[in-house]
Structure 1
Amino acid sequence: MTAPYNINQNPHKGNRGLTRAWHAAKNSWCGIVYAFEEESAFRQELVLLILLTPVALFLPVSPIEKCVLIVSLIMVLVVELLNSSVEAAIDRISFDHHDLSKRAKDFGSAAVMLALFVAVLLWLTICAPLVIHWQ
């Protein structure tokens, strides 16, 4: 037995299987392109990922540590995308100053700052022993 039709169901969510996955992938790519075109912080963090990924790959550390270093940079981009989505939703509602809008944007900004802090902490923790041994 199937569930009764829901009149509040999103009409854009009708795709199933590979069609749904294909549309999701296209939408995801569009999100990355928009972020690259519109968000300077995203571009800066992407440059960090592009520059530091080869560094992580060539460091004399374990494969899991290499993975942790790269994933920490990817997570900064993920949090930046979420922050940008909050900002876009708030701006769609209104450009007027409102305390709740400011709070939502500040929360997103704080999340990005914490993600950057985690990435820096991981890079320092994994790389510091290498620097100490070079001396």
Structure 2
Amino acid sequence: MIAHIVRMTLNAGASEDAKEAAFASLRNQGEVIPSVRSYVVGPDVGGDFEWGAMYVLDDLDGYWEYLKAPAHRHTDEIGLPLVDRFVSFDITDSTDPTIHQKIAELHRRRYAEDPGLTALVQALPSYDGSANPQD
């Protein structure tokens, strides 16, 4: 099982309508991507970020399906331009000692296949996560 988690703070200029559209799109990912077993989208409580989302996936195949889903790409397109600070990370119960490398490779592959996405992520003022294309 892999829990993919994102935390974010939005830029001060983001309109309420744009924010709501982005959060609706994050919730939609949980509803329409078949590999998502459960999800939570909402305020980040007790941390240094304003908002967060978590998607629970069974395995690496499901993770790849999640990453490549059109619903996920739509969220990136409308949501990333609103973000000031962003972090993504994963928690897993996998016993595979190379799971972190395999997850990072999925992200690298996704960026390699989608230069537009890479540009969106590289434009973020602050991003930390697997296979960060800003590195």
Tell me which interval the TM-score lies in, with the shorter structure as reference length.
0.3 to 0.5
TM-score by length of 2: 0.33
Greater share of strand? 2
Who wins on radius of gyration, i.e. which is larger? 1
Q: Report the TM-score, using the length of structure 1 for normalisation.
A: 0.33
Query: Which structure would you say has the larger RCO, counting Cα contacts within 8 Å and 6 or more residues apart?
Result: 2
Structure with more helix by fraction: 1
